[in-house]
Structure 1
Amino acid sequence: MLKKALLAVLLVLVILGIIYRELISYGYMQAKGQVSILFNTRPVSEVLQDPTLPDSLKQRLKLIGEIKKFAIDSLGLDSSGSYTEFYDQGGKPILWVLTACEKFQMKPKQWSFPIIGTFAYKGFFDTTRAHTEEKTLLEAGFDTQINEVSAWSTLGFFKDPILSSMLYRGEGSLANLIIHEMTHGTLFVKDNLELNENLASFVGDYGAVRFMEAKYGKNAPQLERYEFRKRYNDALSQHIVRGANQLDSLYKKFAPSLATSLKDSLKTAKIQHIVQSSDTLLRGLVGKKYPWRGKKLPNNAFFIGYLTYHSQQNQFNKEFNERFKGNFRAYLSYLKTKYPTSF
């Protein structure tokens, strides 16, 4: 009887292995990449004593400690062991994300993972695997995009390290990044990536400004420089979000019988208009620095990325200022109650 039971269990495991072989293979590769990083970190306290590390980068390491303390003490984000270890990337990217979207729908491809839920992007520690999967999606008719990743959150499952590439960011940008990732560790809703990323973007934006104010003062040139760059980034982001909504409206008007060639033509014309109309933003500043200027036109996957991170900023800002009168701790407490972490 026991032998039969064991054989039955083994058979079930074999069947599950066959059915989920791609997920198992992917999970193994991701775990391998994450473990490799975690096992090759050094305590920040040790790195600060390293005579080969330039003082400018040591100051950035100390700054991250200040940012983390501010996020916990002043914003109320959850404390964790993250950002107490350092990982040297050797000047190379270590993680890439693949995004895919329907060709004539503003509908992202979704990937589902155990425990953490559904995501509109897929991460890879191996760029070759990322491009292999991208090729499959392109052949299936999707718009795709692969981006390098500057940071990520393991949602409290591990201690997220400081990556060496972070140390070359400006102070405000670094504060935004750290607070963004700490927000994920404080509040994360399963199967709602757009909410999670938009909330983290909102908190990162707000928290970075407050941190710079606290460190330098409200009229400090450091804060003014950061806020100028923020105005540029906000103007660009909202322009692209509006463009994504325009594309969505266009696609919804396509009749099923409309020829693919005509759909492509109309889509290209709309995207060209979105790119060219950026010339009017901030007296032309955004248009001159537009990230796709002189390059291949963006596709739906590019626009989906902006929707994922920036489509709800106006709603969060309005609720925060009108309902909570700028009281961030009260707002965060409300959000934790409204969106309890679901794993």
Structure 2
Amino acid sequence: MKRALPWIGWWAGLALLAGCAGTPSGDGVARYDEPTRQWVTDPAYYLQSVSGHLAVMRAARPVTDWLADPDTPERLRQRLVLAQSIRAFAADVLHLPRNASYTRYADLQRRAVVWNVVAAPPHALALHAWCFPVAGCMGYKGFYDEAAARAFAAGLPDRWDVGVYPVPAYSTLGWTNWLGGDPLLNTFIHLPDGELARLIFHELAHQLVYVAGDTAFNESFATAVERIGGTLWLAQAASEEARAAYRVFDERRQAFRALTRQTRDALQALYTQAAQEGWPAGRTDAEKARIIEAFGQRYETLKAAWDGFAGYDEWVKQANNALFAIQAAYDEWVPAFEALFHEQGRDFAAFYRAVRELARLPRPQREARLQGLVSAAALHSSVPTRSM
């Protein structure tokens, strides 16, 4: 236990990191110039972060033990074997860290490892920020207990748009590998094969590069790695059955992304116009309600062709500024990172070195470089090429 004491400060910030792979990601822009920032000083919150993560670690057992246990259900056994294969692919092909992470498994007996609370003003797609030691300011606050998350959300200002959503996985950035690393969890082990691979790649990417307080940079980098890596894994290592299942899953996700992006754009246009023209709050509220109602109706039309799949229902029921804003953080700079990957000759080691160089830049310079990559990629894609 003596060795664990210096790490308590880090563990106290683990809930801040929960959010990776937690929501369906969109393709819009969510800036983190929050109208409000708040340092988290409540000792009880940090205590739940410490105790919650320690409970996850205690519940985890080596995958080899699960595989050797005759009582392990066959379906779980197959998923664990697949996860180990994905883990090896991550290290061998994607040059992601080869360490203790995802070599253990825990059944938490609940549907999420944490629940995140997000909040935004009523007329802006800008997130309230909670600030923590080490991790910096984040656009969400995580809780290991769902009831605690909902109670905290209920206590936020009435005029704020507030959301609570389940998170299947989070990254400790490699800091707890000496304790066994981030474990596989029941909250995501039964995802479709392609999604399981993407999630593992995403979380391992966080162990390579992390910039305190820059959620969009961190999540966009990890999302780019998961997309690039997921495509390679499906092509090189997945079964035809897995590829077919993934195509169905991804088509639904892309359709949902397109719908949320369109809705987010409509909301942003509304708030910009209302601010420029000085609309009364009631008029803005009414137009906002109309846009979100139309979003729900279009979602129901979309879902009708999904053979009963209802994976986005919970999100759609509470759709608001906060959820649209946090959704966008996962993809804001993805085109830039994908362009950088191609700029580095699709060489993962060179790509990661270039990303680390970006991470060391002051934020204005970093974002200027990322914007330049986005612009260059858009220009390149607009240039016609002759078919061979």
Aligned-pair CA distance for 1:53: 1.0
Partner residue, 1:239: 259
Partner residue, 2:341: 320
Q: 1:304 to 1:143 in 2, by over 3 A?
A: same
Aligned-pair CA distance for 1:281: 7.6
- Out of 122, 146, 156, the position equivalent to 1:127 is 146
Q: 1:173 to 1:203 in 2, by over 3 A?
A: same
Matched, 1:298 2:316: no
Partner Cα separation in structure 2 for residue 47 and residue 294 of structure 1:
33
Matches within 5 A, 1:138-217: 138-139=157-158, 141-158=159-176, 159-216=181-238
Partner Cα separation in structure 2 for residue 269 and residue 62 of structure 1:
48
Partner Cα separation in structure 2 for residue 332 and residue 294 of structure 1:
33
1:268-325 CA distances to partner (integer Å, 9 max, x unpaired)? Answer: 1222344455689899769x9683599646211120122111333333334434x345
Matches within 5 A, 1:1-343: 22-139=41-158, 141-158=159-176, 159-216=181-238, 220-255=240-275, 257-276=278-297, 291-292=312-313, 296=317, 298-321=319-342, 323-340=343-360
Q: Which amino acid aligns with 2:336?
A: Q
Q: Which amino acid aligns with 1:176?
A: R
Q: 1:21 to 1:189 in 2, by over 3 A?
A: closer
1:85-126 CA distances to partner (integer Å, 9 max, x unpaired)? Answer: 221112443411111111101110101110111110111012
Q: Which amino acid aligns with 1:266?
A: E
Structure 2: which 5+ residue stretches go unaligned?
Answer: 1-38, 363-388
TM-score (norm. length: structure 1): 0.83
Q: 1:325 to 1:95 in 2, by over 3 A?
A: same
Q: Which amino acid aligns with 1:236?
A: F
Partner Cα separation in structure 2 for residue 54 and residue 82 of structure 1:
22
In the TM superposition, structure 1's runs of 4+ consecutive aligned residues that sit over 6 Å from their partners are 279-286
Q: 1:152 to 1:244 in 2, by over 3 A?
A: same
State the secondary structure of the residue aligned to 1:310: coil
In terms of Rg, which structure is larger? 1
1:185-227 CA distances to partner (integer Å, 9 max, x unpaired)? Answer: 111111100111122122112212211222147xx34223313
Q: 1:296 to 1:326 in 2, by over 3 A?
A: same
Q: 1:22 to 1:330 in 2, by over 3 A?
A: closer
Partner residue, 2:14: none
Partner Cα separation in structure 1 for residue 145 and residue 118 of structure 2:
15
CA contact (8 A) 1:209 1:227 kept: no
Matched residue count: 320
TM-score (norm. length: structure 2): 0.74
State the secondary structure of the residue aligned to 1:79: coil
Q: Which amino acid aligns with 2:359?
A: Y
Partner Cα separation in structure 1 for residue 315 and residue 209 of structure 2:
39
Structure 1: which 5+ residue stretches go unaligned?
Answer: 1-19
State the secondary structure of the residue aligned to 1:206: helix
Tell me which of the two structures has the higher relative contact order, counting C-alpha pairs closer than 8 angstroms and 6 or more residues apart: 2
CA contact (8 A) 2:192 2:245 kept: no
- State which drifts further: 21-30 or 74-83: 21-30
1:167-188 CA distances to partner (integer Å, 9 max, x unpaired)? Answer: 2111111101111111111111
CA contact (8 A) 1:106 1:300 kept: yes
State the secondary structure of the residue aligned to 2:117: strand
Question: Per residue, is there more helix in 1 or in 2?
Answer: 1
State the secondary structure of the residue aligned to 1:78: coil
- State which drifts further: 305-314 or 163-172: 305-314
Partner Cα separation in structure 2 for residue 235 and residue 315 of structure 1:
22
CA RMSD for the aligned pairs?
3.1
Q: 1:290 to 1:63 in 2, by over 3 A?
A: closer
CA contact (8 A) 1:237 1:310 kept: no
